[in-house]
Amino acid sequence: MSDSSRRRAGRILLIGGRIILGGVFIAAGFVKLRPVVHGMPWSKASVNTSLAMFAMQVDSYQMLSSSSANLVAHALPFAELALGLWIVSGLWLAVPSLITTLILGGFLTAMIRAYALGLEINCGCFGPGEKVGPLSFVRDGAFFALSLAVTIGAFLIARKKSARESSNASTAQFEQAR
Amino acid sequence: MIQPCNINDSNEAPCSNNFLLRGKLKMPRGWSSRASVATRILGWAGLFALIAVAATAQAQKKSATTAPALKAAAASDEAPVKAIGSKSAPITMEVFSDYQCPSCRLLYEQTLKPLINEYVATGKVYLIHRDFPLPMHKYSTDAARWVNAGAKIGRYPEVEAALYDNQDAWSADGNIQKFVAAALSPADFKRAEKMVEACVADSTGIKPASLNLTPQTHECSIDEAIAKDKALGNTVPVTQTPTYRFYYKGQAYPPTPGYVSWPILKQFFDSLLNQ
């Protein structure tokens, strides 16, 4: 495979990875906000109940104080939605992908800690009903690897872009000097 | 005229002779190998992510289909013995716990006590206890027997409080009756003791002389109640204690395992009551 075709494949995969990662974050934010009981209509009250239920899942990790767990539970779903949309948009991709990598690393650490402590709690990753365990480790590990790869790709592209811009600037200076 | 070096150009000869531009315009060293590694990681991670999302969606679909069964189980249990509060309370909370489990004690001491004082006493929550003694705890079945015996004579809250308040002490030596005796009147304690001893005799085959058991009286109904709770727990399914679930306006909410602090649980109840 030539360098240019490899680069093209890399770009296509980066777009694909970006869309998957953004989609995952949008889905994660959405399922935390949707009504927890099947068939219940969406309303402000149903969102409050969903967030309160998610706060119980965050609290069950026993890592944060009640007030901090509450703050995280009320901010995280909206942050996930915003990050997901930002990643899908592709604007300054290195920034949101780095944030998602750090967030996913934090999730993975929290889950492994809970599992090591013997807390058979709900993961809370995609709504209630999913236990912390090997399946959630594999899934979040895959998301973490994907996010890391997107971040690396985004940084490489940003570096290439900045090199190209500085090349243009240097050429312009050189031309002026002549 | 020297041509500007474009990063996409394959011919680097003109710019590589220019000392001013060298390094700035060349492709970073190792770019192609790094891009290749990143490409492979992206591909594999994306594949894993897709598989994992599909597996999660399948698991949640399965969990959603069990919700009506949970609802039916709660509705069929007309008169649970181990319950506190009014049955007409808008919210029902069902807690599966083991009296020898430290997390269950923490939940009771830090969360259920204020819940009982603030929301059960005011008629907002109906609190049901379900026994789920775990095999790893040596005295948890005995403890559950004492609580069920206490419930039979209408002294469930007192016995439960006595056991959780002194969990460390009786977990060490199994002397549960000492704390139950302190929590009940002598007459009530005698009645509870007789029920528990009948079960001990039933399970061990040893009949204490003081009981004077006949085939008619030799029944262990409290073990049946424990077994019934455990069977119900297995349908949830309960994989650890404590695990709790809620019912509000005829709807079953997903079961939640682990400890929850009172401010967070209170917030959840308030969100339900404000619906």
Distances (CA, A) of B150 to A31, B90, B154, B191, B195: 43, 26, 6, 9, 9
Other CB atoms within 10 A of residue A23 CB: 16
- Between positions 20 and 49 of A, the ones with CB within 8 A of B are 20-21, 24, 27, 36-38, 40, 43, 45-46, 48-49
* Least CB–CB distance from A139: residue in B20, B56, B251: B56
B20 touches chain A (CB under 8 A): yes
One-letter identity of residue A114: A
A94-116 and A66-89 are packed helices; what angle lies between their axes, rounded to 10 degrees? 140
| ipTM score for this prediction | 0.84
Q: Is B237 on the interface with A (CB under 8 A)?
A: no
Contact criterion met (CB below 8 Å) for B107 and B259: yes
Buried/exposed code over B197-218 (b: 16+ C-beta within 10 A; e: otherwise): bbbbbbeeeeeeeeeebeeeee
Q: Chunked in runs of 10, what are the mean pLDDT values of chain B (275 residues)?
A: 36 37 43 55 58 54 44 43 92 96 94 97 96 93 94 93 96 93 94 88 56 51 90 91 94 92 97 92
Name residue B127's beta-bridge partners.
B84, B93
Search chain A and give the residue with CA nearest B58. A130
Q: What was the pLDDT predicted at A18?
A: 92
Q: For an interface test with A, give the residue of B11, B132, B240, B264 to mutate (most A CBs within 10 A).
A: B264
A11 and chain B: CB distance < 8 Å anywhere?
Answer: no
Name the closest residue on chain B to residue A145, using Cα atoms: B45
Strand partners, B92: B126, B247
Instruction: Return the residue matching tokens 């000097």.
Output: A177
Which of A36, A125, A153 has its CB closest to that of B253? A36
The answer to whether A13 contacts B42, with C-beta atoms less than 8 Å apart, is yes
Of A31, A46, A152, A132, nearest to A80 by C-alpha is A31
Cα B182 from Cα B184, distance rounded (Å) = 6
User: In the prediction, which pLDDT does B22 show?
Assistant: 38
CA-nearest residue to A47 within chain B is B271
Contact with chain B for residue A8, Cβ under 8 A: no
pLDDT, one tens digit per residue, over A35-45 is 998 888 999 99
CA distance B67 to B79: 21
Q: Phi, psi (5° rounding) for residue B140? A: -70, -35
A168 touches chain B (CB under 8 A): yes
Higher pLDDT, B185 or A161: B185
Residue of A nearest to B48 (CA): A142
- Does pTM surpass 0.90? no
Residue A87 has pLDDT above 90, yes or no: yes
Alpha helices in chain A (DSSP H): 3-33, 44-59, 66-89, 94-116, 134-177
